[in-house]
Amino acid sequence: MTAQSEPPHAARRAYPSVPRQVYLLGTCLVDSFYPQAGMDAIRLLEAQGIEVVFPQAQTCCGQPAWNSGYDEEARSVARQQLHAFAADIPVVVMMSSCAGMVHKEYPLLFRGQPEEAQAIALAQRTYEFSEFLVDVIGVETLMGTATDAGSAALTVALHTSCSARRSMGVAEQHRTLVENLPAVTLVEPERVTECCGFGGTFAVKQADISAAMAADKAAAVAATGCDLLTSADCGCLMNISGTLSKQGKEIPAQHLASLLYQRLYATEGES
C-alpha cells in the first residue's frame, strides 16, 4: 500500500459476528458472464456454515445509470434492490464496484427520498465479498475449513479494482486472501494502484483512452509472468483479459471467489 491510501477500512466500520444467514448480491456482470464465480462464492460461504439467500428478484445495483448522471433511472432500479434485499440480514456483494454503489452511494441516491432510511440501513449491512471473508469470518477460520491443502504451485497476479481500493477500501483484504492461499505466490503488476481503464460506460464513450489504459494494464499483468489473473471485479477482469487475448497473450482469469473455492475445496468435486 502506498502512503496515499485512505485509512484501512476496518478502522472505519464495525463488523458483526458471523451471521447464520446472508444475502448474496450476485451483480449483473457475474450473473451473465461469471456465474460460476457466484456458485463458488455460495459454496464457500456454505462451507463456513452460513446459509446463503439469493433473491431471484435482484437485478442490477443501478451504478451504470448513476455514474452516467441518470439519477432517476438509477433510483428506479435501485429501489428494486431495496425490495429484493429487504430482510435485516447482511448482504455480501460479489464485486467491489457494486458494493461501493450500495454501501457508499445509495444514501446519496436516496437522499430526501421516502426510502432514505431503508437505503441507509441496506448500505450499513452491505459488505464486499472479500471484506466479509476477512473481517467477518476471519482468514484463519476460512483457511481452517479448507479441505484441499495439497494444490500445485501457482503464481497469481491480483488486480485490485479502483472501487475495491478507494471506494470500499478493501485492497488489503484482497491481498490477504490471495497471500494466505496454500502454494500460491502473489504478484502485483507495476503501477498496481492505477485504473485498468474499464470504468463502465467510460470504456464505450472514451474507447480510445480506455483501450490505451487497458493496454498498459495488460502489459503490466503479462510482465508479472503470472499463471492466472484474479480480481473481485468482473468489469476489470473482462477488460484486462479481453485485451490480453486480443494481443495473443492468453492468461486465464478468475474471479477471486472461484480462485478461493478451487484452491481450498476443489477436491470435493462439487459441480
194 is a contact residue toward other proteins (CB under 8 A): yes
CB of 120 to other proteins, least distance (A): 14
User: C-alpha grid cell for residue 91?
Assistant: 448482504
Binding status of residue 202 toward other proteins by CB under 8 A = yes
Binding mask 88-117 for other proteins (x = CB under 8 A): -x------------------x--x------
- Site for other proteins, residues 220 to 259, rule: CB under 8 A: 238-239, 242-243, 245-246
**Looking only at residues 120 through 179 of this chain, which bind other proteins when binding is defined by CB under 8 A?**
162-163, 165-167
Grid cell at residue 106: 445509495
Least separation in angstroms between residue 243's CB and other proteins is 5
Return the bridge partners of 254, or none.
Answer: 230
Q: How many residues does the chain have?
A: 271
Q: Contact at 8 Å (CB) between 229 and 251? A: yes
Angle, helices 71-84/116-124, rounded to nearest 10 degrees:
60
80 lies in the binding site for other proteins (CB under 8 A): yes
Of 13, 15, 18, 31, the one binding other proteins (CB under 8 A) is 31
Torsion of CA 218, 183, 18, 160, to 10 degrees: -10
Among 2, 17, 152, 153, binds other proteins (CB under 8 A): 2
Residue the block writes with cell 476460512: 142
Q: Which stretch binds other proteins (CB under 8 A): 138-146, 170-178, 202-210, 219-227?
A: 202-210
CA distances from 122 to 100, 103, 126, 129, 154 (A): 12, 8, 6, 15, 38
Q: Which residue from 13, 15, 18, 70 is in contact with other proteins, where contact means CB under 8 A?
A: 70
- Give the DSSP H or E segment for 260: helix 256-265
- CA 268 vs. chain centroid, Å, equals 24
Query: Of 122 and 181, which CB lies nearer to other proteins in the complex structure?
Result: 122
Which range touches other proteins (CB under 8 A), out of 62-70, 136-144, 180-188, 261-269?
62-70
Using CB under 8 A, count the residues that bind other proteins. 84
Q: Are 61 and 78 in contact (CB under 8 A)?
A: yes
